[in-house]
Structure 1
Amino acid sequence: MARPRKPLLSRERIVGAASALVDAEGLDAVSTRRLAAELGVSGPSLYNHFRNKDEILDAVADAVSAKVDLSMFDESDPRDWRTALHDWAVSYRAALTEHPNVVPVLARGPGRRPAGLKVADAVFGAMVRAGWPAARATHIGALMRYFITGSALGSFAGGFVDDETAYDPSDYPHLGQAHLLAERQEKIDEGAFETGLRALLDGLTAQYEAGRRAKRAERARTSPADGS
């Protein structure tokens, strides 16, 4: 009997099947037994590619990280550090909102995941090149991850029911229109993200400019007045 031209199983097939399960049913739906059934193979054959379920979920998370645009952090890209952070954050959130069920895995950090490490490396490197101290560049990377993953973990607007009788004005006098939030979920959540992102970047810009002023003042203080 001739061998099949394509291998029956591969890391890509396993990750694809696991990603579909996570998207449809959540992280708890993934098990080696369930994946083997979905792929039409025996359970032990999965261990030729992954040691356990956690490695599979790591690969699923890394596939999401690989979708994030990092072009704005390339040294040849003309965008300044603030614009680069903004554009990257929008791309990152878009990838996460497309696959919200995997966000808890991504929120744990990159670990040894190649694509996740490339994201961290790109952000840190760009901030250092822009003039941020290394420690502050690390803080910025952490801050951005907290903000972006947090925004993708759930929907503020989607947390309200669309029943106009649900919020008694005698109990909640300011929630008379809250039942309308659910139907406007996407617009509200995107607006909230952009509002928070602008506020965050405004704060970082103020810190950046203050740091530059302090450096200029220090140079002026330590330089001879006559330039000799």
Structure 2
Amino acid sequence: MPRPRVPLLDRPRIRAAALTMIDSAGLPGLSMRALAAELGVRAPSLYSHYQTKDELLGDLAEEIMAGVDVSGFGSGWVDGVRTWARSYRGALAVHPNLVPVFASGPADRPGALERADTVHGALVAAGWPPRQATMIGASAKYLVLGAAMHSFSRGFEDDARVYADRYPHLSQAHRLREHADEIDAESFELALDAFLRGLVALHAGISA
């Protein structure tokens, strides 16, 4: 039999096409019908692999988050949270249009639940009360999601005239876009360091 002109569908190919669409057009740009057209097939062909768009997004989330590192907790809870948060932000920053999927929580995704269990267990083992361990995990997530979703530096115009007269304290704001990646990365590190310093002080009071 002649080989099909369109390569056979499989889950990795579907996920790759969906991720490309989300990266370029955002979550609203993804539908099963549009994805099928992109892949050169009819929409029903997708449903033998993914019954719903939510199922597809869940698999995408698992794939992207597979590289998030929670191994640092073997060196202590501070190193653990720092390594986890950095790798978490790194994974999300590559695909910021998917942040709303991660913001909704781990749902029933096994990998996400395993990481949440590791983080929570390590914090409790380090002496944090379970309720506070939960709050630390949530707070770190807020920090990471905010950093991954928006670039502060790219929110400014690159035209100096916009700021020159009316906003004298922003006289150099037009240069922020030139250094956006650097500023955003260092701003995240500043926030993460301040967060951890505060937690260390709080932990000392618990342990006393």
Query: After superposition, what is the alpha-carbon deviation per residue over 1:22-58, rounded to whole angstroms, capped at 9, x for unaligned?
Result: 1122111211112112222221021112222222222
Counterpart position of 2:167: 172
CA distance in 1, matches of 2:55, 2:22: 14
Over the residues paired in the alignment, what is the CA RMSD in angstroms? 1.7
Q: Is 1:182 matched up with 2:187?
A: no
2:204 aligned with 1:209, yes or no?
yes
| Structure 1 residue 3: Cα displacement | 8.4
The Cα of 1:114 is off from its aligned counterpart by: 2.0
Question: Residue by residue, what CA displacement relative to the aligned partner does 1:84-135 show, whole Å, maximum 9, x if unpaired?
Answer: 1111111111111111110111111111122222221121111112111111
Q: How does 1:80-99 map to 2 (within 5 A)?
A: 80-99=76-95
For residues 92 and 139 of structure 2, the distance between their equivalents in structure 1, rounded to whole angstroms, comes to 16
Q: Unaligned 5+ residue runs, structure 1?
A: 214-228
Report whether the alignment pairs 1:155 with 2:145. no
Match of 2:37 in 1: 37
| Pairing 1:39-58 to 2, within 5 Å after superposition | 39-58=39-58
| Distance in 2, Cα, partners of 1:9 & 1:96 | 26
2:104 counterpart of 1:108: yes
Percent of counterpart pairs with the same letter?
50
Q: Please name the residue that 1:132 is paired with.
A: 128
Q: Using the alignment, how far apart are the partners of 2:3 and 2:122 within structure 1?
A: 49
Give the aligned length: 206
Aligned twin of 1:121: 117
Distance in 1, Cα, partners of 2:11 & 2:137: 30
Tell me the TM-score normalized by structure 2: 0.93
5+ long unaligned stretches in structure 2: none
Aligned to 2:61: 61
Q: Is the 8 A contact 1:65 1:119 kept in 2?
A: no
Contact 2:70 2:83 in 1 (8 A): no
TM-score (norm 1): 0.85
The answer on whether the counterparts of 1:72 and 1:88 sit within 8 Å (CA) in structure 2 is: yes
